[in-house]
Structure 1
Amino acid sequence: MVALFESYNARFVDPSTVAETFILRDREFSQLCEQNNSLLIGPRGSGKTTLLKMLKVGAQIAWKNRRQSKALRRFRFAPIYVGADRQLDFIVGNLHLNEANRNSLDLLKKSLLAFRVKFACAETLHEITATAIRDQESVSHQYVDVSSDPHAVWRSISTVWEFDKEALTYLEVKTNLQFQLQLINKYLNLIKYGETVNVRELIEGGSNLAHDPIQACQSFVDAVNVTIGQPDKKWALCIDEIEIMADDLQQYLFSCLRSIDHRIVLKLATSPFSGIDWNKFNTPRPMAGHDFTVINLAYRDKNLARRFSGQLLEAIIAAERGKGSDKGTPRGRDILGSSPIAEANSTEAQKDAYSSPNGDHYRRFSRLAEEDVAFRQFLTDRDVDLDQLNQLSEKKRAGLRKHIWQVAVRLEYGPTNVFSRPDSSLGSRSPSRKSVSEIYLGYDSLLTICEGNPRTVIGLLRPLVRLFLGTGKRVSASEQARVLEATYAKYFSLLSTIAVADPSRKRQTMSVIELIDIIGEFISEEVNGHVFKSEPSLTIRLDRSTPKEYVEAIGHAMNQGAFVMITDESELHDFGSLDNARLRLSYLLSPRYHTPLIVGQAVKLSTVLTKRKPRQAPRTLTAGDLFFGISDEKN
């Protein structure tokens, strides 16, 4: 079984391949191309790496779309892409170190980042001095002519990076860097096997180990710009996935957004939440909107997210069919069919959706009014005559339109089945909760559930495209439900690895799944409870009464896409802090908790926690959770 989040990861794909399937996000890409520092924020799979890699010259060459190529010409900087890795963590991450080795390791972490910057700088110079790009219209502006003395620029670099042996070519620069890396490996192995290595010993062993990542880039820019006779040439240092770096490196890079060489702009990519405690650092925090531009890849606008997901789906269809197919190209709606719920009057059928007796909204509202006492009372209190829905003013109809999803979900999962208790009182139970309702299926709903996240689109929709292409028939609701269940079950398996520190200290192990369950079940009760609420609470606010342990765990879950930030205290979706942030659960979790695909009112998380406590013992994932996404709990 292939995990959802292993289905596609641009980190492991070369830039030219990334470019072949790239779908341009115009607004975000335009912001990224601006001549200022940028902080690219988004949960896992949202496309941060893809966007940064699309700035590389190799990707620009493969970008064949004329409109996209025109967008690239706005990017006047020479792009230096630096990928992150966790190899060091795998080597020494679990070791118990003495103070000397901890200090040495801090230096080596920074030195390794400096080496990655150097390799990336050399690769960029190799790309932009290649004569092959001189005649490529989309990237010709990046070309640097060194034909008069091709060795001079590499000779200058070998001087500023303190090579023992002068380098005259790109290959020789890489060889020298690899040789210097061997020294780092030597010291890491000494630390790994219990030897004490102090900072003085490191620096005396090789002064290049004390090189700073940003200064390494600045010395490169100095050497190259002087050699090619362009002293003010601009460069973009694009560093990816800084969230997987050590806190001090994250803080260091983020602080550089405040002040850096005027010839260099920083383009940093990270997850939306960071656990960095800025109070322990003496460096002032950079200010969003002043020192850098925030580019948030998490869609707040559902329509924009759905549109982008639709574009990705069409690209998947084209890729899966192959270039040699002589059949007509199917569209996403041909494969998935329309969803039962369409919120806007986007089709001819929807224009009459409120009309009696066959309008979709009319029939749904009427059925719930017959079965649900609470909804019937809601209509009575507001003097709403369902038979006159189509005659209502647009303003009054809009007041009911916001309840379309709520009514549909309540029909499936609300307390519409009345029964008598042994004490003669009346109770009610919901319909079966063991399957995914059709309201979450079909083209419109599945695109909404994907949230505009490329990895989710690929993981969820590509299997359905392949089913269609294999049979030639529209994918059935049961098959869509099966794939959707499997998708969010895999997602839960990923989230279950995020630990939560119990604020009460009564439990040693606790998973963020328990917090998500508490929030999801609370929201479900808001929609499907015994009272029909006109303004149900469908979002949470992380107020200051929420335990910091819970805030941190929710932040890490947000980095994985389980929560979407609607706004934070600064109104800028700033990096790091979640103080007073308003969040909603990912729509991918809506089928599990039976919640509508809409944004509702906010409730304080501390209020939710007073009504629903974490279980004394964690609920284990069942076979249904892991393989089918079906809970074995009783109704």
Structure 2
Amino acid sequence: MSRQTFLEPFNAKAMSYAEVARTFVPSTKFTQLAGAWNSVLVGPRGGGKTTLFKMLSVEGQEAWTGAAAEPYKQTVAYTGVYVPSDIAWGTMLESLIEAGQDETVGILFSEAAFVTHVLLSVAIGIDRHVALNPVLRLEPGAETATDEPTQADLERVIATIARLWKVQPVSLSPASLVDALRERLLNIKRDTRLRAKLKLTDTPTQEYLGIDMLESASQALQAFDAAYRRPHHRWCLLLDEFEVAPMHLQKTVLAAMRASGAQKLLLKVALAPCGPDLLYDQQGSAPPSQNNDVQQVQLWYADKTEAIEFCQQVFLSRSSIYPALAGKMPSEVFGTSAYAVVDDSEDAAQIDLFTLTGRNKKQVTEQFQALAEKDPTFQEFLRRKQIDVSRELGMQPSDRHGNTLRKIAPLVAFRNAYKGKSVGKKRGVKPFNTAYSGWESIAAISEGNPRWLIGLITRIMSNNDQVQFPVPTPQQTAGVQWNCQRYAEMLQSVANEQFGSIKTSTPIYDVLSKIGDYFHNRLVTATFVEDPPMSFVVDERVSDDVEHALRIAVNHGAIVCYQIAADVGGFPTLRGLRFRLTYLLAPVFKLPMRKSKSVSLSTILEAKPETPTSQDDPTANPAGQLIQGDLWAN
């Protein structure tokens, strides 16, 4: 098996539309996003926002073939125009302000660059449509009565669009229109640099200033569709990575969403979960509403069953071309794991993980017995529950204490691996890596993030010189640990400022480490409880500086929110919200992957190292059980 090609990590931004479409796996997120409505797509880095947007574009739709694609393609009742982000939108504004220019002038040039960028993408879409649907070229004096668009129709509409957009193409063709807009982008950047360097103070008069994005694009597309005899056709702008755009541009686009629902042009915007504050006061007008103006889609999975199913489809889409894996399910390749318990549901798939026989059943029983011998608090727990670990342990619903035993089995294994014989002490042993092998664990660690999943599997399989299934546990855990450590190292180097508005003096990874160490200590050295806290609520005692560090962590997928973002564009504040560490950090901080109750973040940050509380934290969220229901609700 090739070391170079198997499940190679990808970044859709650098891939062609054909490459993205070749292994694209539609999900419920895609269905929610794809409809003929305005949308805001919210997700962390690597969550798949660019992939979804490229697949909604006309180029992505053309490249996506096969019977499975047709039902989804029918829901895309518009021509999608992909608009990549450009940091120049913000740097223009910054450079002019730094040079002493009036902020209004800077905003004008920044908006001009953005609008031209959008119009350029629209012009490319028009050019592509004409290439795929050529107009009739009639001979001079020929009959002109036809239902098909002619060359004369096309030239008239290009002339109309050129007047609307204030450009002068060298010929009346879509390609020439594209060239003229590219030239305008260069002119805008040149004019901006000159104003900044020469510190010009005169009033700018360039024709490209002040053009409205929505109106100029809509009117041009109305004229084009009229020429093609399809007046009711719709188009959609797909604005990717829009969190990098200056705040005034975000305001402009979100405001447009409130007015564009029934018009020619739909808007779909991709944003990080925590960007600049989008709850703005736009001269008294309200931001768009999720219920009335936009469909908001979040690229993280509240339902773990849905995430695992999506992960399986991603695996199958990329593994079927390899002879050794063709026709194999991921559970055959990686085996199963009884330690990937992330909730206490009694569905068949969960119970099957604990259908223990022979050697496996003996190993689990030995874990319970070993912990009971060295942990008086676990002995007390067993006494209260009337559980006799000297007898055979049954973990099916029909067994006595079956549900309880199944729920705590992973906790017992973790605690036994790390707990020393002295009260409150840990022992120095090798990491409990078995918990992070098996398909359920790999899928959970990926969080349903396709880039993370592909990276995990790529690393695991890259060392598989001889095909052996299931892949040996040491090989799986080595690949998982390598990826998780690289992710932790990335978080350690993350900048303490994002988008010019999220700034913190607290290193992001320091906060994550305090949270992870606290949970590990509660799991290992504190009094044994059936449900130790593994999640936290950002309470009012947490400083703004720490909250800003967490906002950056959210944007990188390092912490996962249990609740949906109620506001359009993500989370304007994290206070009062419940989070857990991403499972990609579970091997780093030696934590199980499970649903649990919560504790206030201020309690975690104020705890002294290696001295966790010996009983349940009285400040733990009293409504934790109600909140956690939101995470796994169907």
For this structure pair, what is the TM-score category when the shorter chain's length is used for normalisation?
A: 0.7 to 0.9
Matches within 5 A, 1:212-611: 212-260=212-260, 262-276=263-277, 278=279, 281-282=282-283, 283-319=285-321, 321=322, 325=323, 329-339=327-337, 341=339, 343=341, 346=349, 350=353, 352-353=355-356, 358=361, 361-386=364-389, 387=391, 389-390=393-394, 393=398, 396-413=401-418, 415=419, 417-419=420-422, 428-432=425-429, 435=431, 437-468=433-464, 470-474=465-469, 475-500=471-496, 509-567=505-563, 570=566, 574-611=570-607
SS in structure 1 at match of 2:562: strand
Residue 606 to residue 429, structure 1, CA distance change in 2 (3 Å)? closer
Deviations 1:551-574 (A, max 9, x none): 222111111110111115849994
| Mapped pair 1:97 → 2:98 | yes
Q: 1-side partners of 2:122 and 2:387: how far apart?
A: 67
| Mapped pair 1:177 → 2:181 | yes
SS in structure 2 at match of 1:81: strand
Q: 1-side partners of 2:351 and 2:190: how far apart?
A: 71
SS in structure 1 at match of 2:125: helix
CA contact (8 A) 1:129 1:145 kept: no
Q: Unpaired segments of 5 or more residues in structure 1? A: 135-143, 420-425, 502-506, 614-635
Q: 2-side partners of 1:528 and 1:571: how far apart?
A: 38
Matched residue type, 2:384? D
Q: Which moved more, 1:224-233 or 1:166-175?
A: 224-233
Q: Equivalent residue for 1:618? A: none
CA contact (8 A) 1:405 1:597 kept: no
Q: 2-side partners of 1:274 and 1:376: how far apart?
A: 49
Deviation at 1:608, TM superposition (A): 1.9
Q: Which moved more, 1:7-16 or 1:452-461?
A: 7-16
Q: Which moved more, 1:214-223 or 1:112-121?
A: 214-223
How many residue pairs get aligned? The number is 576
Residue 96 to residue 157, structure 1, CA distance change in 2 (3 Å)? closer
Q: Which moved more, 1:122-131 or 1:176-185?
A: 122-131
Residue 458 to residue 499, structure 1, CA distance change in 2 (3 Å)? same
Q: Which moved more, 1:435-444 or 1:519-528?
A: 435-444
Deviation at 1:276, TM superposition (A): 1.7
Matched residue type, 2:211? H
Matched residue type, 2:255? S
Indicate the RMSD between aligned Cα atoms, in angstroms. 3.3
SS in structure 2 at match of 1:209: coil
Q: 1-side partners of 2:327 and 2:524: how far apart?
A: 41
CA contact (8 A) 1:335 1:465 kept: no
Deviation at 1:241, TM superposition (A): 0.7
Deviation at 1:430, TM superposition (A): 2.9
Residue 410 to residue 573, structure 1, CA distance change in 2 (3 Å)? farther
Q: 1-side partners of 2:547 and 2:507: how far apart?
A: 13
Q: TM-score, normalised by structure 1?
A: 0.82
Deviation at 1:362, TM superposition (A): 4.0
Q: Percent identity?
A: 24
CA contact (8 A) 1:356 1:363 kept: no
Q: 2-side partners of 1:263 and 1:508: how far apart?
A: 42
CA contact (8 A) 1:354 1:362 kept: no
Matched residue type, 1:253? V
Deviations 1:396-440 (A, max 9, x none): 533443323322221222x2x224xxxxxx6632342x5451111
Residue 513 to residue 397, structure 1, CA distance change in 2 (3 Å)? same
Matched residue type, 2:259? S
CA contact (8 A) 1:155 1:166 kept: no
CA contact (8 A) 1:154 1:167 kept: no
SS in structure 2 at match of 1:200: coil
SS in structure 1 at match of 2:579: strand
Q: Equivalent residue for 2:16? A: 14
Residue 359 to residue 41, structure 1, CA distance change in 2 (3 Å)? farther
Q: TM-score, normalised by structure 2?
A: 0.82
Q: Equivalent residue for 2:172? A: 168
Q: 2-side partners of 1:220 and 1:463: how far apart?
A: 49
Matched residue type, 2:456? L
Matched residue type, 1:264? L
Q: Unpaired segments of 5 or more residues in structure 2? A: 136-146, 342-346, 498-502, 610-634
Residue 222 to residue 537, structure 1, CA distance change in 2 (3 Å)? same
Residue 243 to residue 328, structure 1, CA distance change in 2 (3 Å)? closer
Select the residue among 152, 158, 166 that pairs with 2:156.
152
SS in structure 2 at match of 1:498: coil
Q: 2-side partners of 1:292 and 1:277: how far apart?
A: 14
